[in-house]
Structure 1
Amino acid sequence: MSKKISKKRLRDTLEAYLFLLPHFIFFVIFIVLPLLYGIVISFHDWKIIGKARFVGLENFKRVWEDPRFWDSLKNTIMFAIISVPLIVALGIILAILLNKRFYGKLWALTAFVSPTFFGSIGILFSWRWILGSQPQALANYYLQKIGIIHTATSWFKTPQMAWTWIIIITAWWIVGFSVLLYLGALQRIPPEQYEAAKLDGANSWQQFIHITLPWIRNVMFFDVARHVLLAFGLFDQVYILTGGGPAGSTRTIVYYLYLVGFERQQLGRAAAISWYIFIVIVAFSAVQLALLTRSIKSAEV
């Protein structure tokens, strides 16, 4: 009997590994091998044309001593600090509003969620057309027509304006997925809890703090982690809307990697930059995982 059980277990295990094999092959080809090759490149001075020259840790040292790297990292961190709480809070507020019954709810949900499923090229080029500096751009044309402005305005002329619009456009673009996450979490909350809280005299804010927030806490941890990763990967908005300007004030760490790797063709330094980014993201992910694990354990107790 035990032999039959062991054979069945072996067969089931083998079948499971066979099902995983296609994914594992693609994982090795497109993730593991490029990762290992990136390590090799980071130790070389290579400009595509010509022979790669081994330089050891020189690329890492030059990146570490480059003030533009630290400026780009600072810009990225500041974007994350401002945008992540804003988008998470906006997602929760919109989810709470959309969780109620009102006329036109489906249209409102579609309006908030649909931009998330459009590609960056269409979204960002549309915004560049709207916020262009030329008089024929949509915002300038209509604002002049109704008398709010008298001359065409460059909406990205100062660092503050450029970052404000990048954050607004990013929030409008990606908040929809957060709304769906929080809507799903809100609909799992037993309505009896709110009814009991109302009988105890709890107001809306107290209900949010003591009922809503604990129920959506784990979803919120996941959403924060997702948005931080997206923030550290900020590239499309900068590339299309500002080109890193004005005067490099919107240059992010990934955009800096692009400039070094593709425009200057310093592939070794670009690989070193990617590893610095990797270290930052892994460190944050470890902290986030520890907090999430603690949150889950406290919820189970």
Structure 2
Amino acid sequence: MRQSQSKSCKRFRREVVSWLFLLPHLVFFVLFVAVPLVFGMVISFFNWSLLNDNVFVGASNYIRTWNDSRFWPVVQNTVIFAIVSVPLTIIVAILFAHILNKKRFGQLWLLIAFVSPAFFGSVGILSSWKWIFASFPSGLANYYLNKAGFINAAVSWFGSTGVAWGVIILVTIWWIVGFSILLYMGALQRIPPEQYESAKLDGAGPWKRFLYITLPWIRSVLFFDVVRQVILAFGLFDQAYILSAGGPAGTTRTMVYYLYLVGFERQDFGRAASISWYIFAIVLIFAIIQLVLVTKSIRSTEG
């Protein structure tokens, strides 16, 4: 009887200690994640203003957003950006991870050059890129392209939709690819070299070695990185706001940019909250699709 009581006391102490270790994280999660989520859901059903009385409007904000002709173009912009930028970022990351995974002179400096941009603030980095792609002749890109003979007149980098999105995608990949390179380098270093050696002896080329050896080994890291990249893509704001200011004619506006315009410039916080839940629903749909596809591929590989 005493032994059972002492065991239950020890078990209770372990549980208490475990919860005490989790308590700081739980407090911050409640304060900065759970409470804002609940508050955002609440105000999405109100005509919420800082100056006037808050009036309950039910689902009116969601209906207004759904019927807003300016909302769906920004959804389309964001989806296209995600479809283009996510695969490009992953391809570039895997390519450079392969290059940097082999020991060579200057490897550490190359790795630092790729990873370091992720640790700098958006304002400083994007202001530098805005100066590089300035539309006047003394802008860095225009100046050197003119000197090299590629252009005869200054290019307005954000004057056309295609070029503006090209610059935004380029800057985004340069900015965030470093962390993905670290992920894939860690995954590549876990692959036994004997598998590549035996595959070479069997006559497998680089593509087959990647398809049948590298890809299965990095599959879990790849799934994590795809989900991370999709979330980052749907949260695109800084690049569009600082580089192109949503132009030309609003064609580089994204969902978060539109949320900012509605919430902070028009002071319509209830409708902005409803837009945030639309963003959450779209990201959730993409995450579920990715989960289903990856689960099917893992089952087919195991089979």
TM-score by length of 2: 0.94
Partner of 1:207 in structure 2? Answer: 209
AA in 1 matched with 2:191: I
**Mapped contact 1:140–1:152 kept (Cα < 8 A):** yes
Of 92, 98, 101, 2:100 maps to 98
Return 99-108 or 206-215, whichever deviates more.
99-108
Partner of 2:236 in structure 1? Answer: 234
Q: Which runs of 5+ in 2 are unaligned?
A: none
Partner of 1:111 in structure 2? Answer: 113
Of 180, 183, 193, 2:182 maps to 180
Shift of 1:68: 1.1
Of 222, 243, 246, 1:244 maps to 246
Q: Quick check: 1:261 aligned with 2:286?
A: no
Q: Quick check: 1:120 aligned with 2:129?
A: no
Secondary structure, in 3 states, of the residue corresponding to 2:157? coil
Of 163, 168, 172, 1:166 maps to 168
Of 56, 59, 63, 1:57 maps to 59
CA RMSD of aligned residues (A): 1.7
AA in 2 matched with 1:122: G
AA in 1 matched with 2:215: L
Of 133, 136, 149, 1:134 maps to 136
Q: Structure 1 225/18 Cα, relative in aligned 2: closer, same or farther at 3 Å? A: same
Q: Which runs of 5+ in 1 are unaligned?
A: none
Partner of 2:76 in structure 1? Answer: 74
Shift of 1:101: 2.3
What's the CA shift string for 1:197-236, capped at 9, x where partnerless? Answer: 1111111111111101110111111111000000000000
Of 195, 198, 204, 1:193 maps to 195
What's the CA shift string for 1:51-70, capped at 9, x where partnerless? Answer: 11111111000000012111
Of 275, 280, 287, 1:285 maps to 287
Q: Structure 1 184/299 Cα, relative in aligned 2: closer, same or farther at 3 Å? A: farther
AA in 1 matched with 2:202: D
Whole-angstrom distance in 2 between the partners of 1:290 and 1:34: 29
**Mapped contact 1:218–1:295 kept (Cα < 8 A):** no
AA in 2 matched with 1:203: G
Shift of 1:147: 4.0
AA in 2 matched with 1:226: R
Whole-angstrom distance in 2 between the partners of 1:152 and 1:290: 47
Shift of 1:28: 1.1
Q: Structure 1 294/112 Cα, relative in aligned 2: closer, same or farther at 3 Å? A: same
Whole-angstrom distance in 2 between the partners of 1:164 and 1:292: 29
Whole-angstrom distance in 2 between the partners of 1:300 and 1:6: 42
Shift of 1:104: 1.8
**Mapped contact 1:72–1:252 kept (Cα < 8 A):** yes
AA in 1 matched with 2:155: T
Count of paired positions: 301
Shift of 1:133: 1.2
Shift of 1:71: 0.5
Shift of 1:29: 1.3
Shift of 1:295: 5.5
Whole-angstrom distance in 1 between the partners of 2:205 and 2:242: 46
Q: Quick check: 1:87 aligned with 2:68?
A: no
What's the CA shift string for 1:115-173, capped at 9, x where partnerless? Answer: 12222111100000111112332222333344433332211111000011111110111
Secondary structure, in 3 states, of the residue corresponding to 1:67? coil
What's the CA shift string for 1:55-92, capped at 9, x where partnerless? Answer: 11110000000121111100000000000011001111
Whole-angstrom distance in 1 between the partners of 2:145 and 2:266: 40
AA in 1 matched with 2:209: Q
The alignment-based identity, stated in percent, is 60
TM-score by length of 1: 0.95
AA in 2 matched with 1:234: L
